[in-house]
Amino acid sequence: MSSGKRNMDDFERKLFAAWKSVDISAAEGWRDELMREVQSEKPGGFDQNEGFGKTAWRLAIAAGVAAFLLLAHSLYSGIIPDMDLSALFVLDPGGCLMSPPFSLA
């Protein structure tokens, strides 16, 4: 092993060891302040911070499934051709009225 790498490993080891050694002490009154906040509200079912991501994903999946089912139902019940006709009318109302099947002439 080169001395450079050995030095680097040694350096890193010292940093990692120092990271573990910290003073752990709470400020005076910390617990009282925490308990004041705790007693001002009810415990919840789930943490919104923790649960929001998962809930959003589940809702997105449910919305995707619902959209697919709606599309399948629309195709099955024949809404799509009606939509095509509506689009045709919006794009060219004059032409539509002059030609079958809407022909006024």
Partner 1 sequence: MDPNDREIIEEVLSGNTGRFEILVERHRSMVFGIAARRVPAEDVDEMAHEIFIRAYRSLGGFRGESDFSHWLAGISVRACCDYWRKKYRSREMPMSRLSEKHRDWIKATLSDESTDSFTRKEQQEAAREILMAAMEKLAPKDRAVLELVHLEERTVREAASLLDWSTSNVKVRAHRARKKLRSLLEKMIETEGESYEFR
Residues that bind partner 1 (CB under 8 A): 7-8, 10-12, 14-27, 30-31, 33-35, 37-39, 41-51
The minimum distance between CB 9 and partner 1, in angstroms, equals 10
Q: Which is nearer to partner 1, 6 or 73 (CB)?
A: 6
Contact 47, 54 (CB under 8 A): no
In whole angstroms, the minimum distance from the beta carbon of 18 to partner 1 comes to 3
Question: What's the min distance (Å) between Cβ of 52 and partner 1?
Answer: 12
Tell the residue number behind the tokens 């705790």, with chain if given.
38
Compare residues 1 and 26 and give the one whose CB is closer to partner 1.
Answer: 26
Return the number of the residue (40 or 77) whose C-beta is nearest partner 1.
40
